[in-house]
Structure 1
Amino acid sequence: MKKLFIAEKPSVAAEFAKALKIPTGRKNGYLEGNDIIVTWCVGHLITMSYPEKYDEKFKRWSLDTLPFLPKEFKYEIIDGVKNQFAIVSGLLNREDVDTIYICTDSGREGEYIYRLVDMMANVQGKTRKRVWIDSQTEDEILRGIRDAKDWSYYNNLSNAAFLRAKEDYLMGINFSRILTLKYSRNVANFLKLDRAVLSVGRVMTCVVGMVVNREREIRNFVKTPFFKVLGKFENQGMFIDGEWKVNEKSKYFNSTMLYKDNGFREKIYAEELIEHIESYANENDREVIILANEKKKEIKNPPLLFNLAEIQNECSKRFKISPDETLKIIQEMYEKKLVTYPRTDARVLSSAVAKEIDKNIRGLCKFSILSNFANDILEKGTYKNISKTKYVNDSQITDHYAIIPTGFGNMNSLNKLSLAVYELICRRFLSIFYPPAQYQKFTIRFGIGDEIFVANTKICIERGFLDILNPIKNESDEEESSDSQSPEYIKMVSALRKGSKLRLDSLSIKEGETVPPKRYTSGSMILAMENAGQLIEDEELRSQIKGSGIGTSATRADILKKLFSIKYLALNKKTQIITPTLFGEIVYEVVNCSISQLLNPELTASWEKGLTMVSNGDITSEEYMTKLERFVGIRCLNVKQLNNQYSLNALFEKVSKEYKGMKG
């Protein structure tokens, strides 16, 4: 009897055949040896059928046939891959095959791809085992085969995969049809189009909402000017810069002229303060007294490892490339055995991987740019206690651990951009085996009469992991500006004590104004989607966010790509900044007036969390499906009863003014 291995792609199938070291002969759509057969899908082979396949009456869009909620869903083989399906189906049902090893990508989507094939091929009486791997190295493939579990172990994951597809299908079909039927004439007439189809989806509509809401925050933002007073203080021929701050004794305490506690709303008051301080200083030999010099050590640990969202955000900032392009680059590296599986939400390692992590480090000894760091880690043995740190946590891993390098072998085949992304992953990985950076922070308070100035100085005293990450720093990274300060300056600042006297050199006014929120970039949008609509800048805080976001690591880039292609959103390729289009804002208005729940990131994320609960066995598929059908059914009924088509035109007019009369 033979064992059949089925992979998601031909290239992956070839890696399995190579790892098994069994001579195979190439056939049409598969490889066969003495006791094994290796075959492959070509991505999805099966898709859900459109409503007209249930009944011809559904071909014509009509309010009378909505909501469309079939009790049993129909599936069909995708045109263009029917030959490969026939080959795979024949192999799955071959009499001399007794065991099937499922080797599709280790995740919800990969599970779905195989389960559909198995269902459509009507496979009976075979043992099925699920191979779950994190990289395509030979060792990992063989481990995955050796540890393969019965496919029933993944039934909950399979249930969630089917539900995700049904959810996207039901919301997409019902909401796109009902909103198009109800409002397309308004939209088409306003935009001077022949016709307009309104595409609506669980995740994509929510993303449009996030972008439109941010754009409106920016439009409605009113700038507030402010004026700060800065002081330059001299000591031993060196200068310390401080900023005026109001205090209880100040003549401006509780003044309505203040902007916060360190500036003024109008320049005249800043000038008045300077005049007041200069007058006092000139009468007192320009003497300044140190009221306090608070010293504090600050430890900065290496950042957590990359998951897909984090690396997509980083590449968007550094290289100005889209999340979709980043995923393609890392997927290629995965298939070349250079990195682990990219579609992961985790930013930590598993305890099992941590035990053998020296293998990954040794591989980087051949990477000339980083070989010194890799050798240093191995010599000092700093990797040995990694399992006791925050970088290893089994409870924070669902399908896969973080993205880390697995080898060096195929690096020469990478282009310049891919090599830069690979270096980014390697540096982040190696940095966790280095000590934290250490800073000495000084908060110095200067007194001039009843007024106070504050100077904050931060000095890096131990660079630690920064030696690895610093060479690829970009403008948005924190600058250790104090690094360049001389030892004499550091000694001078350290020696300042309460009561020490300095000299006021000069005063100046710094003008500024409040700034509106930033537009999303393709990278920051991926992060915001991961965190259910919250763009959390602090990476430590992000790591603590529990629950599911909007979409999954495997789908977010494709969702953005689709929104650009249907022209709901626009992407500036040079800056990667995302803005809405007029069409996108009009769709937003339509949804907001009909099914506004689709614009709510938290609600959208709760659907994803529900799928996770199905995966974990916390709720049943039936419970989830009941909730889904009720949601779709009630929303369709509500839209049917609305009579707000004409009131939308005023909203369209208002929105169009922001686009300077350019419609479309």
Structure 2
Amino acid sequence: MRLVIAEKPSVAKSLAAVLGAATRKDGYLEGGGWLVSWCLGHLAGLADAATYNPDYAKWRYDDLPILPESWRFTIAKDKRDQFDVLRTLLRREDVTEVVNACDAGREGELIFRTVYCLAGCQKPMKRLWISSMEDSAIREGFANLRPGADYDGLHQAALCRAKADWLVGINATRLFSVLYHRTLNIGRVMSPTLALIVQREAEIDAFKPVPFYSVALDLPSFTAASARMDKKADAEQLKTACQGGTVTVKQIECKAKTEKPPALYDLTTLQRDANRLLGFTAQQTLDYLQNLYEKKLCTYPRTDSRYLTSDMAEGLPVLVNLVANAMPFRKGIAISCDVATVINDKKVTDHHAVIPTRNIREADLSALPVGERAILELVALRLLCAVAPSYIYDETSVTVECAGAEFTTKGRTVKQSGWRALDTAYRASMKNVETDKEAEDKALPELTEGQELPVTGAAVKEGKTTPPKHFSEDTLLAAMETAGAKDMPEDAERKGLGTPATRAGILEKLVSTGFLERKKSKKTVQLLPSHDAISLITVLPEQLQSPLLTAEWEYRLGEIERGELAPEDFMAEITAMLKELVGTYQVIKGSEYLFTPPREVVGKCPRCGGEIAEMQKGFFCQDKSCKFAIWKNNNWWAAKRKQPTKAIVAALLKDGRAHVTGLYSEKSGKTYDATVVLEDTGQYVNFKLDFDRQKGGGK
């Protein structure tokens, strides 16, 4: 028997269907000489600090840095049963070979190898490496399984990344939290990302707008504008001089211009467009795309490539036609397929660009959830645009003269709509999606040099220089992708902050920890730093907020992957950095005024295990992603003319019940004592009365 281990149950089922493993067992499928089972994401992870020493359960400066000599893993409690299934299968005597079918990337390699090692397995290992969940791609992948040893470097890089993130996260978070007396989450990618946002806000705050003025002249069939002027009086004077007069055409310049089609999507460019056009967060886009991958409608999501490989060239025209026929917005637009524009073997690393699959032909797209359908349409649009002809137009620049001053205007005449016809049709089919103003056709009338035209109107236009814009997820993802790139070696495989696979998670963590806030402004959602975020970046040393640290790590991890750097040498660098940080960092003077005062914790959240603290309107979980709350003005309490106090809430959180005196009865108009019982549905917090146990709270 051969054992196949996938990352998720849904993927395992797809693989099993192709392999003929149709018999359902407890935690796996069997048939045709195959056993197919699955992990549930990360079944096991690096153990927490207290596993190495019980004293580490408390955060103390004297314990830092915490540097495990031999690393330990723990299995998640809710995933123990599935791990036991996998361990039993891996140890079965009739299993002669194991196939790693987890996602084809760094994390997928780590997920499989961790289970394989914890189960004590030493059986021959093969690797399934595919970019699509189509049946044909699965069959081809199994026909060309690669030796597991080919990916030893990938596993070492993944393990080093996990260990180094653990070391920086545990030690830096504890160091700064202990020194500044509040929880301050520090991360290798998280902190430099936060620094980018804080720096942008500082630039916006320091910006002082400067007014400027220009004169616009209304001429037959077009408008021309003067250069900017600093003084309004000068603009008014020019307007008066031109009003009712004539202009002379001084110069006409016509240039033929070509806009090549955009490249295919990698994950980051798709997340950026989905944020700008659809308002999706990076995490939502990744989730929708992952679902489409598992439904065999899109190729592998976590890719950093924007090209396809040469072996895909032959089948591409058929795919393009299938996709075009499935997309309502392309009706009436001729479809062409220039394969050469999207094929580049040298620019494809682990996975090619994100494209739809041939399964789009049979799929009922109307049955897809709205978010998934929107992402599929965006991916389809990009494929159709990428292989379409260029957009070609003539741009005409005209300069006219009036009252001794020059005025200019531009127009364009489209020669070939090309890929922009598809893009315009897509935007027109979408609600709330603006048309691309740059591409709007504004043809100028026929003009000749020396020609005179009457001025039918003149006006002074006033404007101001504008500050940098607040980051949106679109612009922040772009900044993360290029952060620190200019200071990295040219041959560095990965530059910037994080990877396409991790950036969405980083943004969500910054929001959930309260460092970032999403704030809607007009049609965009801005990412704004909290007061504590600004304070944290103020006290963090440069090395922890500079993108160079994480960019350097990614470069080093690439070397480990290729076998050019020993993992222990990389880990030694991390250890040395942390020893120096703990040994030399000095608390910034006056920092006690930097952070918001810590809130008093009254108990543990029954929903997520986080901290519940009292605030003005009630008692709330301090994890922003958890919605648990006991409101002071709750209707149930108000009817009893009582407000939950700190002591009552502490008892409810500790024991699930609290003895309360002086409750008001609406029926009798009298007061009484009773035990209040807390009931949390996971969505709502409810209360009920228990008269059986009148005293002692939960004792």
Question: The TM-score by the shorter chain falls in which range?
Answer: 0.7 to 0.9
Contact 1:528 1:534 in 2 (8 A): no
Match of 2:129 in 1: 132
* Alignment counterpart, residue 241 of structure 1, candidates 214, 223, 234: 223
Q: Shift in Å at residue 371 of structure 1?
A: 7.0
Residues 155-181 of structure 1: CA deviation (Å, up to 9, x unaligned): 111111011101110000000111111
1:77-134 CA distance string (max 9 Å, x none): 121111111110111121111111110001111011001111111112x221110111
Amino acid across the alignment from 2:159: F
Tell me what 1:300 maps to.
259
1:534–1:210 Cα change, 3 Å: farther
Partner of 2:525: helix, strand, or coil? Answer: coil
Counterpart of 1:263 in 2: which secondary structure?
Answer: coil
Given the two structures, how large is their TM-score scaled by the length of structure 1? 0.84
Aligned residue for 2:558?
A: 612
Give the corresponding residue for 1:228: 214
Q: Which amino acid aligns with 2:535?
A: I
Instruction: Give the Cα separation in 1 of the matches to 2:479 and 2:191.
Output: 15
Q: Determine the structure 2 residue equivalent to 1:647.
A: 590
Paired with 1:59 and 1:610, the residues of 2 have a C-alpha distance of 32
- Residue 38 of structure 1 aligns to a residue in which SS? strand
Q: Distance in 2 between matches of 1:276 and 1:546?
A: 60
**Distance apart, 1:530 and its partner CA:** 1.8
Which amino acid in structure 2 is aligned with residue 205 of structure 1? S
Tell me by how many angstroms 1:482 deviates.
4.8
CA distance in 1, matches of 2:234, 2:493: 47
After TM superposition, give the deviation of residue 300 of structure 1 in Å: 1.0
Are 1:467 and 2:421 counterparts? yes
**Cα offset for 1:575?**
3.4
Preserved contact between residue 373 and residue 430 of structure 1 (Cα < 8 Å): no
Looking at structure 2, the residues matched to 358 and 72 of structure 1 have their Cα atoms a distance apart, in angstroms, of 54
TM-score between the two structures when normalised by the length of structure 2 = 0.79
The RMSD of aligned alpha carbons is 2.5
Deviations 1:173-197 (A, max 9, x none): 000111111111xxxxxxxxxxx21
Note closer, same or farther for the CA distance 1:534–1:221 as it changes in structure 2 (3 Å cut): farther
3-state SS of 1:405 partner = coil
1:214 to 200, 205, 208: 200
- Cα drift, residue 586 of structure 1: 2.4
| 1:349 alignment partner, SS class | coil
Is the contact between residue 4 and residue 92 of structure 1 (CA under 8 Å) also seen in structure 2? yes
Name the CA distance, whole Å, in 2 between partners of 1:468 and 1:266. 45
Distance 1:624 1:102, change over 3 A: same
Aligned counterpart, 2:578: 632
What amino acid is the match of 1:48? L
Shift of 1:462: 1.6
Secondary structure of the 2:117 match is helix
Partner in structure 2 of residue 523 of structure 1: 474
Q: CA deviation at 1:349?
A: 1.2
Please report how far the alpha carbon of residue 365 of structure 1 lies from its aligned counterpart in structure 2 after TM superposition: 5.5
- 1: CA distance, partners of 2:55 / 2:440: 72
Q: Distance in 1 between matches of 2:311 and 2:163?
A: 35
Q: Which of 230, 237, 251 is the aligned partner of 1:265?
A: 230
1:358, 1:19 → 2: CA distance? 26
Q: 1:572 is matched by which residue type in structure 2?
A: K
Q: Counterpart of 2:526?
A: 577
Q: What is aligned with 2:625?
A: none
Aligned pairs (5 A) from 1:486-525 = 490=444, 492-493=445-446, 496-525=447-476
Higher relative contact order (CA 8 A, sep 6+): 1
1:622 Cα deviation from its structure 2 partner: 2.8
Partner residue in 1 for 2:10:
11
- Shift in CA distance, 168/545, structure 1 to aligned 2, threshold 3 Å: closer
Q: Assess if the C-alpha contact under 8 Å between 2:327 and 2:377 holds in 1.
A: no
Are 1:479 and 2:428 an aligned pair?
A: no
Structure 2 letter corresponding to 1:397: V
Structure 2 gap ranges (5+): 597-615, 623-699
Shift in Å at residue 273 of structure 1? 2.6
Using the TM superposition, give the Cα deviation of residue 636 of structure 1 relative to its aligned residue in structure 2, in angstroms.
Answer: 1.4
Q: Percent identity?
A: 32
- Secondary structure of the structure 2 residue equivalent to 1:316: helix
Give the one of 69, 72, 75 matched to 1:71: 69
Out of 300, 323, 331, the position equivalent to 1:341 is 300
Letter in 2 for 1:478: D
CA distance in 1, matches of 2:400, 2:201: 42
Describe the superposition over 1:520-540 as per-residue Cα deviations: whole angstroms up to 9, x where unpaired. Answer: 1123222221222789xxxxx
How far apart, in 2, do the equivalents of 1:227 and 1:415 lie? 50
Q: How far did 1:476 drift?
A: 5.9
Unaligned runs of 5+ in 1: 185-195, 245-261, 536-543, 654-661
Question: Deviations along 1:55-87, whole A, 9 cap, x unmatched?
Answer: 223223222221112232111212111111111
Contact 1:548–1:609, Cα closer than 8 Å, also in 2:
yes
Per-residue CA distance 1:560-585 (angstroms, 9 max, x = gap): 11111111110126732110112222
Paired residue for 2:147? 150
| Bigger shift: residues 111-120 or 57-66 | 57-66
Q: Does 2:156 correspond to 1:205?
A: no
Listed one character per residue, the Cα deviations across residues 509-562 of structure 1 (whole Å, up to 9, x for unaligned) are 110001111111123222221222789xxxxxxxx9974221111111111111
1:172 — aligned with what? Answer: 169
Q: 2:21, 2:34 within 8 Å by CA — same for their partners in 1?
A: no
Residues 346 and 401 of structure 1 are in contact (CA less than 8 Å); yes or no, is this contact kept in structure 2? yes
* Aligned equivalents of 1:368, 1:115: Cα separation in 2: 41
Give the Cα separation in 2 of the matches to 1:309 and 1:368: 23
CA contact (8 A) 2:532 2:594 kept: no
Check 1:266–1:451 CA distance in 2 against 1; reply closer, same or farther (3 A cut): closer
Measured in 2, the distance between the counterparts of 1:335 and 1:111 equals 18
The number of aligned residues is: 587
Per the alignment, residue 509 of structure 2 pairs with 562
CA distance in 2, matches of 1:361, 1:127: 40
Partners in 2 of 1:71 and 1:373 — Cα distance? 66
**Does structure 1 residue 119 correspond to structure 2 residue 117?**
yes
* Aligned residue type for 2:519: N
CA–CA separation in structure 1 for the residues paired with 2:156 and 2:105: 13
Partner of 2:353: 402
| Distance 1:91-1:481 versus aligned 2 partners, 3 A rule | closer
- Stretch of structure 1 that moved more, 365-374 or 407-416: 365-374
Which amino acid in structure 1 is aligned with residue 65 of structure 2?
P
1:277-298 residue CA offsets vs partner (Å, 9 max, x unmatched): 45xxx7xxx3422221110011
What is the rounded CA distance, in whole Å, between the counterparts of 2:537 and 2:377 in structure 1? 40
3-state SS in 2 of match to 1:72: coil
Task: Please tell me whether the aligned partners of residues 424 and 435 of structure 2 are also in contact (alpha carbons under 8 angstroms).
Answer: no
Q: Which residue of 2 aligns with 1:588?
A: 537
The C-alpha deviation readout for 1:368-418, integer Å capped at 9, x for no partner, is 5167589x54xxxx43x51x32x2222222221111000213434312332
Give the superposition deviation at 1:329. 0.9
| 2:275 aligned partner | 316
> Residue type matched to 2:136 in 1?
D
For residues 238-263 of structure 1, give each alpha carbon's deviation from its aligned partner in whole angstroms, at most 9, with x where no partner exists: x221122xxxxxxxxxxxxxxxxx21
Q: Quick check: 2:61–2:175 contact (8 Å CA) kept in 1?
A: yes
Structure 2 contact 21–36 (Cα < 8 Å) conserved:
no
Contact kept in structure 2, 1:302 and 1:465, CA below 8 Å: yes
**1:199–1:164: structure 2 CA closer, same or farther, 3 Å change rule?**
same
Cα distance between partner residues in 2 of 1:155 and 1:23: 28
